[in-house]
Amino acid sequence: MAEVITHETEHHHYEPGHEKTLGAKIARWVFTTNHKDIGTLYLWLSFLMFFVAGGMALLIRTELFMPGARFISPEFFNQMTTMHGLIMVFGVVMPALTGLANWQIPLMIGAPDMALPRLNNWSFWLLPFAFLLLISTFFIEGPAPNFGWTFYAPLSTQYGPPSTDFMIFAIHLMGLSSIMGAINIIATIINMRAPGMSYMKMPVFAWSWFITAFLLLGIMPVLAGCVTMMLTDRHFGTSFFNAAGGGDPLLFQHLFWFFGHPEVYVLILPAFGIISEILPTFSRKKIFGYRFMVYAIVVIAVLSYVVWAHHMFTTGIPLASELFFMYATMIIAVPTGVKVFNWTATMFKGSLSFETPMLFAIGFLFMFTFGGFSGLMLAIVPADVQYQDSYFVVAHFHYVLMSGSVYAIMAAIYYWLPKWCGYMYCEKLGKWHFWLTTLGMNITFFVMHFLGLAGMPRRIPDYPLQFEDFNRIATIGAFILGFSQLIFLYNVIKTIRGKNRVKASAEVWEGHHGLEWTVASPAPYHTFSTPPKID
């Protein structure tokens, strides 16, 4: 007698949607190993965290509406800036992109599921507990982490509150989840491509995640080591980051940014892949320069490892180091420029139509490029000395991440949601969402460039009177941006429930990759129930 579990036998015994009890319905989602279910769980977690972190941003902007206001205390303001950054990076963008990878990569490469389905389940379920642990720091003795999302030593080691240890453990859990997800994606793409699907026939989205997964494997252990050194400095008498004991606080910054700058590309490379799927579809053309798009992703990923110290130009690093990192940062703009050129060439003389996914993709193209130009300004050492720690930096990275990563995620959800649930979203609501989001985004962050150039430092709860006008404008824009996301939520729920009553048809995605819409994928199942016995 042998006990075996196969997808086929499980599929035969498990009928999704026909669960009789609430417990069975919960078990279906808790124990699922189906890539579609797990992708859905990632996306809903990201959506929830999006509103949590967005609420924190609105508290920050409310406090900054006028000088001298005391809507929240300075201590709580610092906690909000710390948590907003951590949750947006680790709780919104990364889970959303991983959810999209879970949904789409098996469909795109012709695989029945991810290569390691149970590992897939585990990598998701670590995250809700990590974020519960992180948010629980508001409710334990002492303040929540209050030293900024980059948690520089010695602010987080010698002077960090007791809740810092909870943050360290939460970061370990998030990192473990990312490593397992990356291994799964690499194994899936290498081993489970359909016959005839060579690497150079893969969709650009699959390529972008393939490269991103290797980035994650390279940088997450560095972050884990960094926060472990923080923990031992705090409780075990070591002095990695304590100058009094022979350590160096700058070592923390080197370790953090060696993780942190490739992490920026972890957040944006899959977004590049999404845009490379959407623009050809709504241009009715193949992607321009497919091979160069793939090579550009590889070059960006390699160079991302050698530009970390451009975050540290004001720390007193040697002139030779400053020059090297300045030139390396300039060079990384070249493959990024290749991608922007190729996206533009894809649209050139195409038969364009401007549905919601295309609007978000074009918005991405304009505003991400704008954020890239301000990044080039920050790459120049003498200029960076002036811009450092000002609102100019805040404006730059929000243009890159909000109108970059987040816009691409929104474009992907509008693009693929009809495929996922069988119903079309409301196009009118989608366009309202795009235009209000774009209006709010630019009102909020464009004026921050002027605040930074005028000398307003970031992470302060109060400011001199001369900065009041632009801060008021930014706060109004933030509320437009925040509340327009309720339209997005309503549209998604309405579509999933089939309230639009417009069924999706194959014509919706008459794009350039027929395979991703025709490959059969099994119905959701899980492999945790008692297996059948086979003689």
Burial of 149 from C-beta contacts in 10 A (0-12 / 13-18 / 19+):
middle
327 catalytic residue (yes or no): no
**pLDDT single digits (tens) 21-66:** 888 889 999 999 999 999 999 999 999 999 999 999 999 999 999 9
Q: Which of 261, 449, 512, 513 is catalytic?
A: 261
Query: Residue 84's closest CA among 398, 297, 388, 389?
Result: 398
3-state DSSP helix/strand/coil % of the chain, to nearest 5: 70, 0, 25
pLDDT of residue 531: 38
The yes-or-no answer on residue 468 being catalytic is no
Active site annotation includes 512: no
Q: Quick one: which of 479, 500, 344, 480 has its CA closest to 414?
A: 500
Tokens 């994650």 appear where?
216
Instruction: Report yes or no: 75 and 461 within 8 Å, Cβ to Cβ.
Output: no
In a domain, 9, yes or no: no
Which residue in 189, 354, 344, 334 sits closest to 276, CA to CA?
A: 344
Is 336 a residue of the active site?
yes
Q: For residue 14, what pLDDT is reported?
A: 44
Catalytic residue selected from 36, 193, 311, 512: 311
Confidence of residue 5 (pLDDT cuts 50, 70, 90): very low
Is 80 exceeded by the pLDDT of residue 105?
yes
53 contacts 121 by C-beta, under 8 angstroms: no
Respond yes or no: is residue 529 known to be catalytic.
Answer: no
Q: What is the mean pLDDT of residues 403-417?
A: 95
Read off the CATH number of the domain in which 311 is found: 1.20.210.10
Does residue 338 belong to any structural domain of this protein? yes
pLDDT of amino acid 2: 35
Tokens 């819409």 correspond to 517
pLDDT at 532 over 70: no
Residue 39 maps to a domain: no
The overall average pLDDT reported for the chain is 89
Choice among 201, 458, 472, 494 that is catalytic = 458
Percent of the chain with pLDDT over 90: 84
Give the per-residue pLDDT at 464: 93
pLDDT at 460 over 90: yes
Helix ranges (DSSP H) in 136-248:
164-191, 204-235
Number of domains in the chain: 1
> Which entry of 178, 188, 356, 390 is annotated as an active-site residue?
178
Q: Does the residue 115 lie in any domain?
A: yes
Which range has the worst mean pLDDT, 63-72, 80-89, 111-120, 403-412?
63-72
- Is 198 one of the annotated active-site residues of the chain? no
Copy the structure tokens of residue 27: 């078990």
Indicate which residue of 156, 336, 390, 495 is catalytic. Answer: 336
Six-digit token string for 39: 């992708």
Please name which of 185, 366, 182 lies closest in space to residue 262, comparing C-alpha atoms: 182
**Which entry of 137, 157, 163, 177 is annotated as an active-site residue?**
177
* The one catalytic residue among 37, 63, 263, 516: 263
Q: What is the pLDDT of residue 9?
A: 35
Residue 18 placed within a domain: no
The verdict on whether 276 is a catalytic residue reads yes
- Per-residue pLDDT tens digits for 469-517: 999 999 999 999 999 999 999 999 999 988 766 777 665 555 443 334 3
Q: Residue 354: name the closest of 421, 279, 292, 416 by CA.
A: 279
Residue 485: strand, helix, or coil: helix
Query: Is 14 inside a domain boundary?
Result: no
pLDDT in tens, 226-259: 999 999 999 999 999 999 999 999 999 999 999 9
Instruction: State residue 503's pLDDT score.
Output: 76
Q: Is 84 one of the annotated active-site residues of the chain?
A: yes
21 in any annotated domain: no
Q: Choosing from 276, 304, 329, 356, which is the catalytic residue?
A: 276
Identify whether 407 is a catalytic site residue: no
- Under the banding of pLDDT at 50, 70 and 90, the label for residue 70 is confident
> Residue 424: pLDDT above 70?
yes
Assess if residue 72 is contained within a domain.
yes
pLDDT value of residue 63: 95
pLDDT in tens, 161-174: 999 999 999 999 99
Q: Could you confirm whether 172 is annotated as catalytic?
A: no
Print the domain residue range for 452.
44-242+258-518
Give pTM, 2 decimals.
Answer: 0.91
Q: Give the bridge partners for 390, in sequence order.
A: 457
513 catalytic per annotation: no
Query: Which residues, 6 or more positions from 382, have their beta carbon under 8 angstroms from its beta carbon?
Result: none
Q: How confident is the model at residue 304 (pLDDT cuts 50, 70, 90)?
A: very high
Give the separation between CA 516 and CA 487, rounded to whole angstroms: 28
Mark whether 390 is an active-site residue.
no
Residue tagged active-site, from 207, 265, 343, 391: 265
Token pair 């150079």 in the structure block, residue: 200
